[in-house]
Structure 1
Amino acid sequence: MFHRNGLAVAALEAQERFQVGPALLSALPVIQLVVYVVLQLPAGLLADRLGPSRTLLIGLLAMAAGVVLFAVAPGFPLALAARMLIGLGDAVIFLNVIRLAALWFPRGQYALVSAFTGVFGSLGQVASVAPLSAALAGFGWTVAFLGAGAVTLVMTLLVLFVVRDRPPGARVGAPSAPISIRASVVEAVRARGPRVGMTNHAVIQAPYTMLAALWGYPFLVEGAGLPSATASVALTVLGVATLWVAPVVGACIGRWPAARRPIAITTATLVSLGWLVFVGWPGGPPPTPLVIVHFAVGAGATVMAAPMSFDFARDGIPARRTGVASSLVNMSGFAVVVLTTVGAGAILEALPEPHGGVDYQMAFLPVATTSTVGAVLLTAQLWRYPRERP
């Protein structure tokens, strides 16, 4: 999560360092997310066939190499290659962590474990705001990102020596014949749960991820007129203040599966209405306090996305083949992140600088559209969804 969102607070500095405009700047997180999305299905197959711990090692090594290259890249082409490496590593991390959860914990605890996974991941997102901003200011670009690479290598060693695919003494059972890639995908798409998980992830996870990945910090500075320090602190506080939401939601839907439907519909409705108000506010963005409330709802929805979306994804899918279903859920959410991030960058590029609040209202029209359409589709999907897990 640190590597996925770290470019947001460094966006303005990256624009100056690599001498690019908003459209090319958005290509840095977008290429990372495109690689992430494209590799979701292969990552799910690796999770099911190679095993989580080995796949995690591959991902962490690629990510460490990418962030080191990003630290020393003298120009835009190498920086782009570095973000591709980071995206390659990122593609396998979360899927394999929740794949471990499916192997280590009973079905009723899966949502709660996924929630705590999201919480710890959010700590990386928090570290990618104020702490990274301070490191960039105090040590400079190269040292700050080389330090991030060193931490990633330490995490790689921890996975190598600590993480195991199953609890000690667990019965593996008779190996089942692997099904084809096409059969795995068809199985996941035909099941109702993964389809709902895909829509839910796209609606409640994507909007704030787009802000955290790139455009939240520039908007607060350029569009809302906040000082850079205030903007980074605001995003950090939002990240920390919403962490409690995921375990609470995970515990609720683990104990009461019927709660998933009203929670999902209510959250999607609030997120979509918030974006419609934001882009439709006359004369510029809403007052800063309302913007912060809107961002807080989005941040809370994002940390709720994992326990709900991946719990839906397991409905009707054997535990040993959850990787493909989870990869499709992840793919849907981040495909929307890519579309809305690119859309915002393209709109800002077409508008004259300096960019003000109205410019960002126009730039955020794509995310307002995807949120609204997704909320309607999710409500239709959940209208007659079973109260208990299928």
Structure 2
Amino acid sequence: MSLHTPQQADTQRSDDRTSAVPRVASEPPGGPRAWLVWGTAASVYLLAMFHRNGMSAAALQAQERFDVGPALLSVLPMVQLAIYVLLQIPSGLLADRLGPRRSLLISLGVMAAGTILFALAPDARAAVAGRVLIGAGDSLVFLNVIRVAALWFPRRHYSMVSAFTGIAGGLGQLVSAAPLSALLTGLGWEASFLAAGAVNLLVGALVLAVLRDRPDGRPAPSHAFPSVRESLAEALSHRGPRIGMAAHSVIMVPFTVLGVLWGYPLLEEGYGLSTRAAGLLLTAAMVLPMALAPFLGRIPGSRPRLRKPMALVLAWTVTLLWLGVVLWPGGLPPFPVTAAVVLLSAFASVLAPSVSFDYARDGLPEQRTGTASGLVNMCGFTAVMLGVVGAGVLLEFGGADASFQTAFAPMTALCLTASTAMTVLLCRADR
């Protein structure tokens, strides 16, 4: 039996040919109500990004509070990301079955519990348990926010809404940088993270009141869902999700590695900046990209033929910039050079969803995008996790030669591999 009927199937987007997959009879209408529903879901993503990246601003305090070295310190975000990555496929399947509203309510409750545990953790083991819960709750968020976009907006608007979703995540990163650093300095560890946990409950009330799974009059999805194996086979049978997996494994990785843990240590210990100055730089690095993202994010949806060059330029720019940092003779590059690399990495990270997840939807019906999106997210954050841990291990055990320059070598190697794989996939599609 076919996994989807012609009435369910969406138009398969292609850079070089017209798809044979039919379009649904009527697309979601979009409009003000759709933006309100999406905005509510996006507020959950903003909060999740705050929780995900808060370890960067709190890294040095956590090192002192739990009396751990760089390698053990990297375990905190690594465990969180490991849980996030491992749950991407189950989260995608759950998103297809439960719908965004219930999934996001579950995620907020689990993240609140993890944040409270992390705030009150007496030792590193309890802190790790808190980050595990945060990672589990976080794993449900992004997939359901872009699922709201798929269910409430026409297909041509999907990449633009994905770009706005990236902006919401960027705002979460902004709040997790200088504002969280100031909050930790002013209120202390426990009060700051307990307040963050309370915000989860307030956002949960907003989700309960506003968010709905689909526009009025749109049919509910069939309960005859394919098995896990069939869902994975369906997603991987299309070239779009495979390209999205490779693209996400490079475009969003470097700035996410900085945001998750190593941004503050690089700037404070590598360049001697104050905590305030480091926070301001990481905050400023997000502002310009977020301003441009709504305009550039329209490209994959409105001009599909530009999607391929956009993906290639973003991937190879990020890769070559960090290759230059790692291979710079005599140590880290001058500060202005590294600052420019951080800025361009932030720019790529904000645009990553509009490219990666637009490819992920190719050939799939709107009701079953969760699994493909989970695969794309899993690949990207596996690369992030390996980059975070690789840096920590090299800094801890690298001896006298250990430096932030060598610490970013594993991340750069992963970016080079993913860029090459994406280029091969795109070139094969042209044949």
- TM bin, normalised by shorter chain, reads over 0.9
Q: Is 1:368 aligned with 2:415?
A: no
Matched residue, 2:382: 335
| 1:186-225 Cα deviation digits (max 9, x unpaired) | 1111110000000000010112101110011101111122
Is the partner of 1:147 in helix, strand or coil? helix
Rounded to whole Å, the distance in 1 between the matches of 2:110 and 2:274 is: 35
Rounded to whole Å, the distance in 1 between the matches of 2:360 and 2:197 is: 33
Whichever residue aligns with residue 33 of structure 1, its letter is: L
Alignment equivalent of 1:42, drawn from 90, 99, 104 = 90
Rounded to whole Å, the distance in 2 between the matches of 1:171 and 1:131 is: 41
Is the partner of 1:170 in helix, strand or coil? coil
Measured after TM superposition, the shift of residue 151 of structure 1 is: 1.1
| 1:65-84 Cα deviation digits (max 9, x unpaired) | 11111111111110000000
Aligned residues: CA RMSD: 1.5
Measured after TM superposition, the shift of residue 384 of structure 1 is: 4.8
| 1:97-153 Cα deviation digits (max 9, x unpaired) | 111111101100011111111111211110000000000000100111111111111
Matched residue, 2:151: 103
Q: Is 1:77 aligned with 2:152?
A: no
Rounded to whole Å, the distance in 1 between the matches of 2:274 and 2:373 is: 39
Quick check: 1:245–1:303 contact (8 Å CA) kept in 2? no
Alignment equivalent of 2:327, drawn from 274, 280, 295 = 280
Alignment equivalent of 2:196, drawn from 148, 160, 167 = 148
Q: Is 1:32 aligned with 2:42?
A: no
Matched residue, 1:377: 421
Q: Is 1:345 aligned with 2:389?
A: no
Matched residue, 1:20: 68
Structure-2 change in CA distance of 1:74 and 1:174 (3 Å): closer
Rounded to whole Å, the distance in 1 between the matches of 2:277 and 2:288 is: 16
Structure 2 length as normaliser, TM-score?
0.87
Rounded to whole Å, the distance in 1 between the matches of 2:373 and 2:352 is: 12
Quick check: 2:181–2:275 contact (8 Å CA) kept in 1? no
Rounded to whole Å, the distance in 1 between the matches of 2:349 and 2:292 is: 10
Quick check: 2:255–2:342 contact (8 Å CA) kept in 1? yes
Measured after TM superposition, the shift of residue 316 of structure 1 is: 1.0
Whichever residue aligns with residue 115 of structure 1, its letter is: A
Which consecutive unaligned segments of at least 5 residues does structure 1 have?
A: none
Matched residue, 1:227: 274
State the identity %. 53
Rounded to whole Å, the distance in 2 between the matches of 1:221 and 1:173 is: 52
Quick check: 1:245–1:304 contact (8 Å CA) kept in 2? no
Measured after TM superposition, the shift of residue 162 of structure 1 is: 0.9
Matched residue, 1:170: 217
Measured after TM superposition, the shift of residue 385 of structure 1 is: 3.6
Structure 1 length as normaliser, TM-score?
0.96
Is the partner of 2:389 in helix, strand or coil? helix
Rounded to whole Å, the distance in 2 between the matches of 1:170 and 1:300 is: 38
Matches within 5 A, 1:1-12: 1-12=49-60
Name the count of aligned residue pairs: 383
Is the partner of 1:242 in helix, strand or coil? helix
Quick check: 2:221–2:367 contact (8 Å CA) kept in 1? no
Structure-2 change in CA distance of 1:219 and 1:54 (3 Å): same
**Runs of 4+, deviation exceeding 3 Å:** 384-387
Which consecutive unaligned segments of at least 5 residues does structure 2 have?
A: 1-48
Measured after TM superposition, the shift of residue 240 of structure 1 is: 2.0
Structure-2 change in CA distance of 1:172 and 1:181 (3 Å): same
